[in-house]
Amino acid sequence: MSLKGKVAVVTGSTRGIGRAIAEALIDEEVSVVICSRRQRDVDRTVAACREREKGRVVGIACDVREHGQVQRLIDFAIRELGGLDILVNNAGVAHTASVADLKPEEWHEIIDTNLTGVFYCCHEAIPHLRTRGGGYIVNIGSLAGANAHPMMAAYNASKFGLLGFSEALFQEVRYDGIRVSHIMPGSVETDFSSGKKGWAILPEQIADMVITLLKSPSRTMATRIEMRPTKPSRA
Ligand SMILES: NC(=O)c1ccc[n+]([C@@H]2O[C@H](COP(=O)([O-])OP(=O)(O)OC[C@H]3O[C@@H](n4cnc5c(N)ncnc54)[C@H](OP(=O)(O)O)[C@@H]3O)[C@@H](O)[C@H]2O)c1
């Protein structure tokens, strides 16, 4: 199934997994909206992606924690690219600290980005996906959405919450022809966690999974996908 001519918004697409997903979509001739919090990073990413010379690429700064900015993001996609077919909720942050040490503003940054931001994006996008007669929402969760770790309570809470959100959402929108998949990666080789590991999943491998899902026959949907490094460090 060809994705050519579809329109996608990928949140947090100036680096890491989101950037790899945006590039993979562009290579499939999808028109893509790039976004993250800083316009300078967005402009740089749009310029680099345009060199791929396939799908159209535009960009706008958007902090997914701000409902007004998310409204502006989705309006921008509709105005610039004529509609919306695919939403990839990828933007995410983490802080590693004990509950006693985690600052309240760090708690809010994690929950507001990883969970509330996804709600805002879906809330604004779903009416437009319905207008198109269907579409696809891919949420980037984490294995930390099913496995708790000390020093990660806020991140765990956000990703456990996101898993529940995704699974309620797919039941709500399936009869509108909107499919929802929730990808739960283990460690991925990005700036997110410090230091190059050598064994972690590559961002391009998450992007390949997204493309596989989008191209899968519309009669079925994979709702929860756990992706692990084959050979993580034994230590
Ligand atoms: N890397 C891993 O090991 C791993 C494993 C499992 C799941 N994940 C999940 O995968 C997703 C992407 O992670 P990554 O490793 O690619 O992280 P990353 O390299 O740090 O990239 C995160 C992206 O999100 C953007 N972002 C952060 N806060 C934002 C906000 N409030 N509004 C809009 N954009 C925002 C960042 O740009 P700015 O900061 O400039 O805004 C950046 O473009 C996250 O949801 C993460 O939880 C990662």
Following CA atoms 152, 158, 163, 169 in sequence, which dihedral angle do they give, to the nearest 10 degrees? 180
45 lines ligand 1 (CB under 6 A): no
3-state SS assignment for residue 183 = strand
CB of 162 closer than 8 Å to CB of 182: yes
What is the distance between the alpha carbons of residues 156 and 139, in angstroms, rounded to a whole number?
A: 15
14 lines ligand 1 (CB under 6 A): yes
Residue bearing tokens 């992007």 = 207
Which CATH code for domain 7-227?
Answer: 3.40.50.720
Distance of CA 200 to the CA centre of its chain: 19
The 8-class DSSP code of residue 202 comes to P
CA of 39 to the centre of ligand 1 (A): 16
Q: What are the CA-CA distances from residue 59 to residues 13, 81, 234 (Å)? A: 10, 11, 41
Give the mean model confidence (pLDDT) for residues 53-61. 90
Annotated catalytic, 120? no
pLDDT in tens, 169-228: 999 999 999 999 999 999 999 988 766 889 999 999 999 999 999 999 999 999 999 999
CA of 30 to the centre of ligand 1 (A): 21
Q: What are the CA-CA distances from residue 219 to residues 6, 7, 216 (Å)? A: 19, 21, 9
What is the distance between the alpha carbons of residues 118 and 203, in angstroms, rounded to a whole number?
A: 20
> Cβ-count burial of 29 within 10 angstroms (0-12 exposed, 13-18 middle, 19+ buried)?
middle
Which residue owns the Cα nearest ligand 1 atom 25? 12
166 lines ligand 1 (CB under 6 A): no
pLDDT in tens, 84-124: 999 999 999 999 999 999 999 999 999 999 999 999 999 99
pLDDT of the residue at 199: 96
11 lines ligand 1 (CB under 6 A): yes
